[in-house]
Chains A and B, each alone.
Chain A
Amino acid sequence: RKEVEQDPGPFNVPEGATVAFNCTYSNSASQSFFWYRQDCRKEPKLLMSVYSSGNEDGRFTAQLNRASQYISLLIRDSKLSDSATYLCVVNTALQGAQKLVFGQGTRLTINP
Chain B
Amino acid sequence: NAGVTQTPKFQVLKTGQSMTLQCAQDMNHEYMSWYRQDPGMGLRLIHYSVGAGITDQGEVPNGYNVSRSTTEDFPLRLLSAAPSQTSVYFCASSPRQLGWQFFGPGTRLTVL
Contact of A87 among B33, B43, B105 (CB under 8 A): B43
* Contact assessment for B42 and A105 in the assembled complex, using a CB-CB cutoff below 8 Å: yes
* Contact assessment for A100 and B101 in the assembled complex, using a CB-CB cutoff below 8 Å: yes
Q: In the complex, what residue of chain B is closest to A98 when comparing beta carbons?
A: B98
Residues of B within 8 A of A104 (CB): 40-42
* Contact assessment for A44 and B101 in the assembled complex, using a CB-CB cutoff below 8 Å: yes
Q: For chain B, which range describes its interface: under 10, 10 to 19, 20 to 34, or 35 or more residues? A: 20 to 34
A66 CB–B CB distance under 8 Å: no
Residues of B within 8 A of A97 (CB): 56
Known contacts A43-B105, A43-B106; A32 and B99 CB within 8 A of each other: yes
* Contact assessment for B43 and A43 in the assembled complex, using a CB-CB cutoff below 8 Å: no
Known contacts A44-B90, A103-B42, A105-B42; A49 and B103 CB within 8 A of each other: no
B45 CB–A CB distance under 8 Å: yes
* Contact assessment for B43 and A44 in the assembled complex, using a CB-CB cutoff below 8 Å: yes
* Contact assessment for B99 and A49 in the assembled complex, using a CB-CB cutoff below 8 Å: yes
Chain A, interface SS category: strand
Residues of A within 8 A of B106 (CB): 42-43
A102 CB–B CB distance under 8 Å: yes
* Contact assessment for B99 and A91 in the assembled complex, using a CB-CB cutoff below 8 Å: yes
30 contacting pairs across A/B (C-beta < 8 A) = A8-B40, A32-B99, A33-B99, A34-B99, A42-B106, A43-B103, A44-B43, A44-B101, A44-B103, A45-B103, A46-B99, A46-B100, A46-B101, A46-B102, A49-B100, A87-B42, A87-B43, A89-B99, A89-B101, A91-B99, A97-B56, A98-B98, A100-B33, A100-B45, A100-B101, A102-B35, A102-B43, A102-B44, A104-B41, A105-B42
User: Which positions in A face B, CB cutoff 8 Å?
Assistant: 4, 8, 32-34, 36, 42-46, 49, 87, 89, 91, 97-98, 100-105
Which 3 pairs of residues, A with B, have the shortest CB-CB distance? A43-B103, A102-B42, A102-B43
